[in-house]
Amino acid sequence: DSGVTQTPKHLITATGQRVTLRCSPRSGDLSVYWYQQSLDQGLQFLIQYYNGEERAKGNILERFSAQQFPDLHSELNLSSLELGDSALYFCASSVDPGATEAFFGQGTRLTVV
């Protein structure tokens, strides 16, 4: 168990809908990262937060947004969902952006039908 908790584990929703994925980082970790894993693209970096502030952005779609709350948990919001958004979404955390290791959660499997 990495100590990173993601909910829900599975999510099935229809096209056009909006969902929220939740992540609780390891105790003491200030940095949170979101990744998308699909069969054709592999693991893709979406966005990073550090102590509540956005720190770095990857190839995150405009339909996606995220935030990190004062208690350090993070949420990834996906809206106007398309079939191609079906993927595994991972959250990872580290003590800070300079840490040598990021700890990954178990992921949320999103299926858009």
Partner 1 sequence: QKEVEQDPGPLSVPEGAIVSLNCTYSNSAFQYFMWYRQYSRKGPELLMYTYSSGNKEDGRFTAQVDKSSKYISLFIRDSQPSDSATYLCAMSGLGGATNKLIFGTGTLLAVQP
Short-list 106, 87, 111, 108, CA closest to 38 = 87
Q: Which residue, 2 or 15, is less far from partner 1 as judged by CB?
A: 2
Closest CB 94 distance from partner 1, rounded Å: 5
Q: Do 75 and 85 form a contact (C-beta atoms < 8 A)?
A: no
Going through the chain in order, the beta strands assigned E by DSSP cover: 5-7, 10-13, 19-24, 31-38, 42-50, 53-57, 64-68, 74-78, 87-94, 103-104, 108-112
Q: Which residue, 17 or 59, is less far from partner 1 as judged by CB?
A: 59
Q: Which residues sit at the interface with partner 1, rule CB under 8 A?
A: 2, 4, 31, 33, 35, 41-45, 48, 55-56, 58, 90, 92, 94, 96-107
Closest CB 6 distance from partner 1, rounded Å: 8
Closest CB 15 distance from partner 1, rounded Å: 25
Q: Which residue, 10 or 14, is less far from partner 1 as judged by CB?
A: 10
